[in-house]
Amino acid sequence: MRRIETLDHVDEDLRALVAADPRLAAVSARAGAIPLRLSKPGFASLAGIITSQQVSRASADAIFKRFLSLVDPLTPENLLAADESVFREAGQSRAKHKTLIALAKACAAGNVDLLDVVEQPAEEAIRQLTAVPGIGPWTAEVYLLFCAGHPDIFPAHDVALQTSVGHVLGIDPRPSPKALIRIAESWSPWRSVAARLFWADYAMIRRTDSLPIV
């Protein structure tokens, strides 16, 4: 399938998704225009996604803004050369400190190529990314979704997606990651636009942007 690289691609896939699952027509109408949110692949983009793990969007934005000001430009080599105090000053957690250093080392050593990995099939790309300590499926999937335009990825470990799908489909309590993976299978090959749709719906429900930094 072609990648999602333009707003026309988003609209095209959304129409196909709603035609395949009419239950989503109401949420599509309510959510309005779905943003593309496509970023340039590379170390800084993935570092932003790592920063977004398990914190609010507002907190992630503030932490990453400080981080970018302390390591400028944010490259693997510059991060490895920086003093460890930059992590504390930015507000990065100890766990994210370890993950970012592990990623920087893997990139600097040539063990992970963040530009090449986006050209790989999703399963292989996720395998390569999750081989880096601290990078789990959610982080890898979000990177491929928003930095590679992969068309058929649904980050089922995302709490906002679990909450929105539960709300739309009347599932209480919200579906678990395993249950959401099964539910999302019916939205293939348009799972990436389904994820965009449910994130947009969550933003409408909670009146806050829940998308990770990309």
DSSP secondary structure letters along 117-180: GGGS-HHHHHHHHHTSTT--HHHHHHHHHHHS--SS---TT-HHHHHHHHHHHT-SSPPPHHHH
Asked if residue 93 lies in contact with residue 52, where contact means CB atoms within 8 angstroms, the answer is: no
pLDDT at 212 over 90: no
Provide the residue ranges of all domains of the chain, joining segments of one domain with +.
7-37+152-206, 43-147
Average pLDDT taken over every residue of the chain: 94
- The tens digit of pLDDT for each residue in 141-198 reads 999 999 999 999 999 999 999 999 999 999 999 999 999 999 999 999 999 999 999 9
The CATH code belonging to domain 43-147 is 1.10.340.30
CATH code for the part of the protein at 7-37+152-206: 1.10.1670.40
pTM: 0.94
Does 207 score more than 90 pLDDT?
A: no
Q: Quick one: DSSP state of residue 22?
A: G
How far apart CA 10 and CA 149 sit, in angstroms, is 10
